[in-house]
Amino acid sequence: MRRALELAREARMICPPNPAVGCVIVKDRRVIGEGHTQRTGEAHAEVMALRDAERRGESVEGATVYVTLEPCSHYGRTPPCALALKNAKVARVVAALKDPNPLVSGRGLKMLEEAGIEVECGVGAREAEDINKGFLKRQRTGMPWVRSKFAMSLDGNTALSNGVSKWITGEDARRDGHFWRAISGAVLTGSGTVEADDPLMNARIEGAERQPLKVVVDSQLRLSPDLKIFKEGKVLLVCAFYDIVRAQMFEAQGVEVIELRGADGKVDLKALCAELGRREINEVHVEAGARLNGALAMQGLIDEYLIYAAPLLLGQGRKLLDLPMLQNLSEGIALEFIDVEKVGPDLRLLLRPAG
């Protein structure tokens, strides 16, 4: 299962919105086939592992299959993996997790059991959950997993007061950031960041064969359609007031413009997340300023903070989140460290809301 989880991790840039799944086939204590999920619409992990065994000239009859997600039972873009395993006459299937997809949800395991195959579920569940937290959250709640990324000085500044921020963190940290963009279904940013930095917001990393949808929040549609972000890839521009003349300037270049207005006259961020969930976005990667991040955090929409901290002190500057002035420490956003790693000269911190 450890190897299957490793394979699943390798699939993360390729397969969204499909979950990243790894599969290892073992017989007589030898690995005779392995594989992971391919691009959406192409083969699942189990089929890749079966094909691998065939290529190696191995018979899978009587073998044990380790897979990081319950084999599917439905005809989706591909035929059911549970059926492929049944036809291959494997003896035992060990799955890490049940697939919460309502089209599967226990039916895959049941189908195997009914075929007389020994089934076990739950081995390596925690890690398997972690690899597909976006897919799993979306299947369970309809909402995507939202991760906000920041680069800051050790004293918590994301830029100087005059806006200068290039570069606070080193090259390694910046490269690492592209990996997280590449595994995401969408990159979300705001008008302030787009105007100040004119970023591309794509994933520039080897192995990124699919690009995340670029989502830009611009309440008043005040950005210029000539900015780089609108020039390439799929872009969703979200406003609070749809102005047909402004919108058409973007639409003429293939940008989709939608209006999602909340009660406060700003973009309804919760509705936006729900909309991205409907569009099969599992993970939303936020790279935005303190205003958009503050609003997301206040509405409890951030599931994870990815913070690169540079060994640099800047004194005054811009903060991670714009929050109303607090009176008590207990009003702060309490987080929990999930992972801490050194990336080049910087630290990479992964945190989630506590509790």
> Does the annotation mark 46 as catalytic?
yes
**C-alpha distance across the termini of the chain, in Å:** 29
Q: Which of residues 74-103 bind Zn ion (CB under 5 A)?
A: 81
Q: From the list 2, 77, 231, 342, which residue makes contact with ligand AOF (rule: CB under 6 A)?
A: 77
Give the amino acid at 220. Q
Question: Which residue has its beta carbon closest to ligand AOF?
Answer: 76
Number of residues counted as binding ligand AOF (CB under 6 A):
17
Question: 19 preceded by cis ω (within 30°)?
Answer: no
Q: How far is the CB of 32 from ligand AOF (least distance, A)?
A: 18
Q: Does 36 bind Zn ion (CB under 5 A)?
A: no
Q: Does 124 bind ligand AOF (CB under 6 A)?
A: no
Q: Does 76 bind ligand AOF (CB under 6 A)?
A: yes
Q: How far is the CB of 216 from ligand AOF (least distance, A)?
A: 27
- Contact assessment for residue 23 and residue 51, using Cβ atoms and an 8 Å cutoff: no
101 touches, from Zn ion, ligand AOF, none (C-beta below 5 to 8 Å by class): ligand AOF
From edge to edge, which strands make up the β-sheet containing 64-67? 30-36, 22-27, 64-67, 92-95, 118-121
Q: Does 7 bind Zn ion (CB under 5 A)?
A: no
Q: Does 133 bind ligand AOF (CB under 6 A)?
A: no
Q: For residues 103 and 119, what is the distance between their CA atoms, to the nearest angstrom?
A: 19
Three-state secondary-structure class, residue 25 = strand
Contact string (CB under 6 A) for ligand AOF, positions 17-56, x = contact:
-xx-x---------------x------xxx----------
Number of residues counted as binding Zn ion (CB under 5 A):
3
How many Cβ atoms sit within 10 Å of the Cβ of residue 105? 16
Q: From the list 72, 151, 182, 309, which residue makes contact with ligand AOF (rule: CB under 6 A)?
A: 72
Question: Would you say 72 is a known binding-site residue?
Answer: yes
Spatial CA neighbour of 16 closest among 128, 165, 182: 182
CA distances from 110 to 5, 91, 177, 248 (A): 23, 14, 40, 52
Q: How far is the CB of 19 from ligand AOF (least distance, A)?
A: 5
285 touches, from ligand AOF, Zn ion, none (C-beta below 5 to 8 Å by class): none
211 touches, from Zn ion, ligand AOF, none (C-beta below 5 to 8 Å by class): none
Q: Does 140 bind ligand AOF (CB under 6 A)?
A: no
Q: Does 210 bind ligand AOF (CB under 6 A)?
A: no
**The pair of three-digit structure tokens given for residue 270, joined into one six-digit string:** 């919760």
Q: Does 95 bind ligand AOF (CB under 6 A)?
A: no
Spatial CA neighbour of 25 closest among 35, 17, 34: 34
From edge to edge, which strands make up the β-sheet containing 186-190? 256-259, 235-239, 213-217, 186-190, 283-286, 145-153, 304-310, 346-353, 335-343
Question: Would you say 292 is a known binding-site residue?
Answer: yes
- Contact assessment for residue 65 and residue 84, using Cβ atoms and an 8 Å cutoff: no
Q: Which stretches of the chain bind Zn ion, using CB under 5 A?
A: 44, 72, 81
Q: Which stretches of the chain bind ligand AOF, using CB under 6 A?
A: 18-19, 21, 37, 44-46, 69, 71-72, 76-78, 81, 99, 101, 104
Write out the catalytic residue numbers.
46
